[in-house]
Amino acid sequence: MAATDTPMKPDGFHPRITAFVCNWCTYTGADLAGTSRLQMASNVRIIRLPCTGRIDHMFIVKAFERGADGVIVSGCHPADCHYTAGNYHARRRFGVFRELMDFMGIDPQRVTFSWVSASEGAKWKDVVNETVARVAELGPFDAYHELAGDTVTGGEPAPGPFEAASGAETPDPLEELEVGR
Amino acid sequence: MKELRDLTRKLLADGDAGVVIGWEEGRRGARPAFITTPDDADKLIFDARCVHNLANYLNPRKPQVKALGKPAVVVKGCDAKAVAGLLREAQLTRDRVILIGVRCGGVVQTPEMPAELTEATVATRCYGCDVREPKLVDHLVGDARPEPPVTAALDRRIAELDALSPRERWQFWTSQLAKCTRCHACRQACPLCHCERCITDKTQPQWIESSSHLRGNFAWHLTRAQHLAGRCVGCGECERACPVGIPLSLINRKLQLVVKDLFDYTVTDDPEVPAPIGAYAVDDKQEFIE
């Protein structure tokens, strides 16, 4: 992959970002960004869902539990929802959840909410790059990952049961893909 | 008091109600009472120690109460808001319950305390009370009581927490939630936690880890708070039930303030007013969305 101008900390921290996106707008927009060959940070793993209305706050919590340093939630602009009102409901829920996270000490800067339509490939690129830059600045979310004292993150996935048994080293998937370089 | 006891006697004698749920004198202050015969009506009391939100017994998760017949429940104004919540969410129909409203002059923090209301003893929920005379009732008893001394202690504490950095808030909440043993007393005590099967009990997929480590505790408390956003009536039963003293009222009150700020919604005893989560307005605030 060609080099991009992904901001990165000198210590080589590659943030892991999970994006929960709506099938009808943002996913198509991200697809457009790809087919338009827009260069953007490759730290984002996209999970496609039918609608932002399907995105539960538990998705964000689970992403953090499983090693995400940041989360993007994105869907159709108001009035554009494929199911008429899913994004309006999501807007209410996440308006509250964002405040709740903030109150509990989870920096809301780690979670980006955005509207990206199917034609906004360029906007998706900006959302991705800005989120990656912001989360890279904040550093790894070890505070959450290490809550139970058993999770290894930050580019070193915890060995699965089979890797551990065979003693084989797990290649760093981020290394392999030259993520964020 | 006589009015309440006479009404109870009448309801039970006429067979209008199978059980009257109110408060009685217990060994450690006031406690909930289930009166099923007219002779027991004189046990009922009502004073500032009657803290319990008896709407909890109308929660459909409590089938043992259903077995006693049609309930008549004594409710304070704030308890009536919880009944309205159950009606709003179709967990209850109005004709299946008799509501006996009591005019309330504030309650103390726990039922063991003496019934003297001072700024130090009054429950935080009495701050800003707008329902000292419940409206959603079939019978209204008791004389009007003087306005309680109010304390904004909860809101002050929230303001203090808000003034901290996210890292300091994180430290505060990790130290609090580290105590949680996941006994789920907060859920059981909540009149509005009425899911037949709570998400924290589900294992396939397991959204919330059931172990009482901080990761599971955070998932649980974030979810509990989020699921009660815009529904919580602020009765504080969760915090009172908590055996390790997690200040859950801080979270609940914070979300009440957030919902007020974002959607201009205050929890009400009118079951016809829709709850804010589950409804929407086209012009909702969206400054947080890029």
What is residue A157's predicted lDDT score, i.e. its pLDDT?
Answer: 45
Q: Strand pairing partners for A20?
A: A47, A73
Of residues B86, B128, B119, B92, the one with CA closest to residue B234: B128
Per-window interface: B 37-66 vs A, CB < 8 A: none
Residue A7 forms part of a structural domain: no
How many distinct structural domains can be found in chain A? Answer: 1
A:B CB pairs within 8 Å: 123
Q: Tell me the residue range of the domain where A137 lies.
A: 14-145
Phi-psi region of A39 (alpha: psi -120 to 50; beta: other; left: phi over 0): beta
Do the beta carbons of residue B98 and residue B138 sit within 8 Å? yes
ipTM above 0.90, yes or no: yes
Report the b/e string of A3-35 with b at 16+ CB within 10 A: ebebbbeeeebbbbbbbbbbebbbbbbbebbee
Tokens of A72: 């993007």
Q: Strand pairing partners for B108?
A: B122
Tens-place pLDDT, residues B130-163? 888 999 999 999 888 888 888 888 999 999 999 9
Q: How far is A101 from chain B (nearest CA, A)?
A: 8
Residue A134 forms part of a structural domain: yes
Do the beta carbons of residue A75 and residue A90 sit within 8 Å? yes
What is residue B243's predicted lDDT score, i.e. its pLDDT?
Answer: 95
Q: How far is B82 from chain A (nearest CA, A)?
A: 21
Tens-place pLDDT, residues B86-116? 999 999 999 999 999 999 999 999 999 998 8
**Residues in chain A, pLDDT under 70:** 1-11, 150-181
CB contact under 8 A, B290 and A57: no
CB contact under 8 A, A92 and B284: yes
Residue A9 forms part of a structural domain: no
What is residue A153's predicted lDDT score, i.e. its pLDDT?
Answer: 46
- Listed in order, strand segments (DSSP E) in A37-175 are 44-49, 70-75, 111-115
Q: How far is A87 from chain B (nearest CA, A)?
A: 10
Residue in this structure with the two tokens 């994006």, named with its chain if needed:
A19
Q: Mean pLDDT across chain B, nearest whole number?
A: 92
Q: How far is B206 from chain A (nearest CA, A)?
A: 10
Per-window interface: B 169-228 vs A, CB < 8 A: 169-174, 199, 207-209, 211, 213-216, 218-219, 221-223, 225-226
Q: How far is B258 from chain A (nearest CA, A)?
A: 7
Contacts of B268 (CB under 8 A, 6+ apart): B81, B84
Cα separation of B33 and B24, whole Å? 6
What is residue A161's predicted lDDT score, i.e. its pLDDT?
Answer: 44
What is residue A169's predicted lDDT score, i.e. its pLDDT?
Answer: 53
Tens-place pLDDT, residues B179-229? 999 999 999 999 999 998 999 999 988 999 998 899 999 999 999 999 999
Residue A162 forms part of a structural domain: no
For chain B, what are the domain ranges? 2-141, 153-266
Tell me whether B248 touches chain A (CB under 8 Å): no
Tokens of A166: 């065979």
Cα separation of B100 and B74, whole Å? 5
Residue in this structure with the two tokens 């999770």, named with its chain if needed:
A151
Surface-to-core class of residue A86, CB atoms within 10 Å of its CB (0-12 exposed, 13-18 middle, 19+ buried): buried
Residue A71 forms part of a structural domain: yes
Of all helices (H) and strands (E), which one includes residue B19? strand B19-26
Residue A159 forms part of a structural domain: no
Tens-place pLDDT, residues B243-280? 999 999 999 999 999 999 999 999 999 999 999 998 99
Q: Say which CATH number the domain at A123 has.
A: 3.40.50.960
The 3-state DSSP class for residue B101 equals strand
Residue in this structure with the two tokens 């290490």, named with its chain if needed:
A146
What is residue B119's predicted lDDT score, i.e. its pLDDT?
Answer: 87
Q: Give the residue numbers in A contacting B (CB under 8 Å), as ranges.
A: 57-58, 61-62, 65, 78-79, 85, 88-89, 91-108, 112-115, 127, 130, 143-144, 147-149, 151
Of residues B111, B129, B110, B109, the one with CA closest to residue B119: B109
Do the beta carbons of residue A92 and residue B276 sit within 8 Å? yes
CB contact under 8 A, A113 and B258: no
Residue in this structure with the two tokens 């504080």, named with its chain if needed:
B236
Do the beta carbons of residue A159 and residue A170 sit within 8 Å? yes
What is residue B263's predicted lDDT score, i.e. its pLDDT?
Answer: 94
Q: If you write DSSP's letter for every residue of B228-290 in order, what string do you get?
A: HTTT-----HHHHH-TT---HHHHHHHHHHHHHHHH-----S-TTSPPSBTB--TT---TTB-
Contacts 24+ apart (CB under 8 A), A152-160: A153/A16, A153/A67, A153/A69, A154/A13, A155/A13, A155/A14, A157/A67
Tokens of B18: 């199978």
What is residue A155's predicted lDDT score, i.e. its pLDDT?
Answer: 46
Tokens of A12: 């080589």
Residue A64 forms part of a structural domain: yes
